[in-house]
Amino acid sequence: MASDIANYLYLDGTIVKEEIIGVGGAGIVVNRGGYAFKIPRISKLSEIDGVPVHDRILNHNEDNYNELAVAIISFKHEKAIYKRLGDHPGIIRCYNVDSEEPSIQMPLMNGDLRQYLGEIRPKRSRQLSWLLQLACTMAFVHTNRVIICDFRLDNIVYDDDMNIRLIDFSESSLMYLEWDLEGYDKYGFSILTDIGQFGAVMFEIITGQHCSFDIYEDWQKVGDPTTWPRRETLPSTSEVWLGSIIEKCWTKGFASAGDLERELEKENVY
């Protein structure tokens, strides 16, 4: 079986030597001076089947894809979203939001919820606290005319006090300020698909089992229309704590994240 080894590069072409603490589609996150820095993901092949190679940048489909160009556009877009959202306790802070440099400087966090939940099952009181924080944050994001689009455990991080924050808005949609919160973006995402994804995250937090709310599940080729996931593609919630709320997330039972938040506020943990 063929095996390739690639290094990540800085913009000047030198190999990244800092500790890499996260890897995404267009960026990697490194530990730099006590901060988490997201920088463009630029790859260079260093070895193919055990044979060293030199001066070969890893471009997917060769001339049709350039990692650096894609990353720079992605970083500009993501910074515009951080600037729109401003400071909020449920959103990771971007310290260099006004800089033109393609990087995002953030506080170091302890890890993401997917990693945490793979090792620890939190009490229901903690779960409900997280869900309320997340619903409040999602409502705030929507109020600022942003569709999250990629709401999942990997993009939720926690601090020493187990407070959680959203990170990574590279896939999110920045809508016009005049947008009435109705309808979809050009990719098929909406505030309702965000709430659907919330239901999947909620299911994972409560049960510890994987769940995906995927509007692309019926895609045959790029450009096909997105579809609301069929109910049979999602797990049963009949024996799940707060299952009725998860069901409403998946069946368009909430008109807004604010409605979802208010429903969660009615719950008690004894």
Q: The pTM is what?
A: 0.89
Q: How far apart are CA 92 and CA 59, in angstroms?
A: 31
- Could you tell me the domains of the chain? 4-107 (3.30.200), 111-265 (1.10.510.10)
Q: What is the residue-level pLDDT of the chain in tens, covering all 270 positions?
A: 444 456 899 988 899 999 999 988 788 999 999 999 999 988 876 544 444 444 444 444 444 457 678 788 899 999 999 999 999 999 999 999 999 999 999 999 999 999 999 999 999 999 999 999 999 999 999 999 999 999 999 999 999 999 999 999 999 999 999 999 999 999 999 999 999 999 999 999 999 999 999 999 888 777 778 899 999 999 999 999 999 999 999 999 999 999 999 999 999 876
- Who contacts 162 (Cβ-Cβ below 8 Å, separation ≥6)? 126
Q: H/E element holding 80?
A: helix 67-85
